[in-house]
Structures are given as C-alpha cells and as structure tokens.
C-alpha cells in the first residue's frame, strides 16, 4: 500500500507532467486504503479527471459521497446476476451481492453523480447469466455494462460454449435503456494474438501504471512483471524519474514482440500507421 504522502506527491507530479486523468484500480481494491477519500478528492482538486474501478463493497457513507462528487466514471466489478453465483465465484457470503447493488443504486439515485458502469467477466461459472446481468444493470439504472472474457492461460477456455455465449451477448445487446459494451469477441481475438509484429509499443507513452510497490510499468497488462518494469519511484519523485535517462533507456529498449496477451494491438496499429504516414492524416 502506498503511503498517503507518497500518493499526494505522485498526484502533484502528474499535474506537473501534464497528465490529464488518473484511474484508481488495479490488482487490489482502492477503497481499502485508509486515506482513499482524501486521495480521490485531492486528485480532482488538482484538476485531474478521476476514475475508479472497484468491487463496490465499500461504496457507502463518506466513500460514497467522495466518489459521487469527484469521479468522472466508476466501474463496479460484479460478474454475476444472482447472489448464489456471486457468492460462489467470489467465495463470500451471498448477502454481499445485495449490499453491492444497494451501494450502486444509492450512487445512481444521486443528482450529481459520475457515469456508473457494471463489469461482467465471462467465465464458465457465470455465462448463463449474461442476459440477466444486462437486465439487472438496466433495472438498477446504471449507464453502461461491460462484458469481457477472462484472461488466463487456457487457449480454448470457452470451447463449445462460445456459440451459447455469443447468443447470450446478442440478447444482452437488445436490452434498452443501458449501454452495453460487448468486448468479449474483440478482446478474445486479442488474447489469441500474442506478442506484436513490431518491436515498438506506442501505447506505453499514453498510459503508464504505478503499482503498490511503487514500480512503474509500461501498462496495466505488464504490471508486476520484469518485462514491463521501467523503474521504481520508491526513492525518487515521479517527475524526476520520468525525465531520467534510465527511464528513457528502458522505454526505448522495451520489445513489444515479447509481450503475451495485449489488448492494445489496434491502438498500436493505428498509431504506427499515423507515424509512418500510412494513414491519410487529413481524414479521421
């Protein structure tokens, strides 16, 4: 867990570097940080656009107030349409499901609120609840719902379930009054496209990742890996590290062909086309 003073320092340096937005999320739950309310509000006060990825369990009381007043958007990971499935896949008590939905509903009901979305990672344990989840999201009143595949090492994890999943996603897209982001097929295709055809990763210049160990990584997908590690700010300020020769050398040496799964192939393809003038930059 990053100390309060260090987070405030990082936010200050982000502004100095011209960063426009920050997302609190990652492999842990941001709202368990004892100073999360102050830090969320501080990021917004510094002029940053702020977003939150959360499990939603602590979105109540003061946290709910601060999130509602300072976030541009939030995404709550739920991954189930029933309390039974929620409890089974998360190994928690079933009443936690109702508590999370109540927290989300409370934020939705506020006059001033961020864009609120629910997330559903499709697995072999919950795929039968895809359509019901979209309906649930609509009934709660959230703005959007996102469906995506699980990232694991099984090349044919879904096997014969793909057809049924595709049909369920088609039904979910028909649910009105909520925007459905169906990223299942597109991300699944990227999962099967390991590595890159090019050495250069352009996307790393647009979205870095700072983890709880104060390591800085090329993106969220390479976090906590030696491959994606570009340095540490445990003994230095972010602004000094960002302009350092060691950081520039590591970024230059980064070889995207050694990456595994990457969800940013399309962004890199487009930027490569623009950089190499393969795209007509007069038209969008």
Structural domains of the chain, with CATH: 4-191 (3.20.20.70), 203-275 (no CATH)
Determine what percent of the chain is predicted with pLDDT higher than 70. 96
- In 3D space, the residue among 223, 201, 197, 228 whose CA is nearest the CA of residue 212 turns out to be 223
What is the structure's pLDDT at 228?
93
Determine what percent of the chain is predicted with pLDDT higher than 90. 75
Q: What average pLDDT does this structure show over 235-245?
A: 96
131 φ/ψ angles, rounded to the nearest 5 degrees: -65, -40
* pLDDT tens digits along 138-150: 999 999 999 999 9
What is the structure's pLDDT at 129?
98
> End-to-end distance of the chain based on CA atoms, in angstroms?
42
What is the structure's pLDDT at 99?
97
* pLDDT tens digits along 30-79: 999 999 999 999 999 999 999 999 999 999 999 999 999 999 999 999 99
Q: How confident is the model at residue 275 (pLDDT cuts 50, 70, 90)?
A: confident
Assigned token pair, 265: 């192939």
- CA dihedral angle for residue 115, residue 120, residue 121, residue 123, rounded to 10 degrees: 180
Q: For all residues of the chain together, what is the average pLDDT?
A: 92
What is the structure's pLDDT at 51?
97
User: Does the structure show a pLDDT above 90 at 96?
Assistant: yes
- CA 108, distance to chain mean position in Å, is 20
Assigned token pair, 224: 């906590």
User: Does the structure show a pLDDT above 60 at 282?
Assistant: no
What is the structure's pLDDT at 226?
93
Partners of 51 in beta bridges:
23, 73
What is the structure's pLDDT at 279?
60
What is the structure's pLDDT at 49?
97
Question: For the chain, what is the radius of gyration of the CA atoms?
Answer: 20
Assigned token pair, 269: 């393809």
What is the structure's pLDDT at 283?
54
b/e map 40-72, b = 16+ CB within 10 Å: bbbbbebebebbbbbbbbbbbeebbebbbebbe
What is the structure's pLDDT at 52?
97
What is the structure's pLDDT at 280?
60
Task: Say which range, 144-148, 176-180, 276-280, has the weakest mean pLDDT.
Answer: 276-280
Give just the sign of the alpha carbon dihedral 261, 263, 266, 270: negative
The pTM (predicted TM-score) of the whole model is 0.90
CA angle 197, 203, 204 (to 5 degrees): 105
What is the structure's pLDDT at 195?
63
User: Does the structure show a pLDDT above 90 at 281?
Assistant: no
Q: What average pLDDT does this structure show over 218-240?
A: 93
């Amino acid at each position: 867990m990053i100390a309060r003073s260090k987070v405030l320092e990082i936010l200050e340096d982000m502004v100095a570097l011209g960063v426009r937005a920050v997302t609190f999320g990652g492999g842990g739950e941001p709202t368990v940080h004892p100073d999360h309310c102050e830090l969320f509000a501080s990021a917004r006060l510094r002029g940053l656009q702020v977003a939150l990825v959360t499990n939603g369990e602590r979105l109540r009381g003061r946290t709910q107030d601060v999130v509602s007043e300072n976030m541009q958007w939030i995404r709550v990971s739920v991954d189930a349409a029933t309390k039974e499935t929620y409890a089974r896949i998360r190994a928690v008590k079933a009443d936690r499901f109702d508590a999370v939905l109540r927290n989300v509903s409370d934020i939705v009901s506020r006059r001033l609120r961020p864009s609120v979305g629910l997330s559903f990672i499709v697995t072999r344990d919950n795929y039968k609840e895809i359509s019901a989840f979209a309906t649930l999201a609509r009934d709660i009143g959230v703005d959007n719902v996102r469906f995506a595949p699980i990232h694991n090492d099984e090349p044919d994890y879904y096997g014969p379930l793909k057809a049924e999943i595709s049909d369920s996603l088609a039904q979910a897209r028909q649910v009105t009054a909520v925007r459905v982001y169906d990223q299942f097929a597109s991300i699944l295709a990227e999962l099967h496209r390991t590595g890159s055809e090019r050495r250069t990763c352009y996307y790393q210049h647009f979205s870095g990742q700072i983890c709880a160990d104060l390591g800085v990584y090329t993106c969220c997908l390479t976090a906590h890996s030696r491959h994606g590690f570009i340095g540490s700010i445990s003994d230095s300020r972010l602004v000094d590290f960002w302009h350092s020769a060691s950081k520039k050398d590591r970024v230059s040496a980064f070889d995207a062909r050694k990456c595994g799964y990457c969800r940013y192939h399309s962004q890199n393809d487009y930027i490569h086309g623009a950089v190499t003038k393969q795209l007509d930059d007069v038209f969008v």
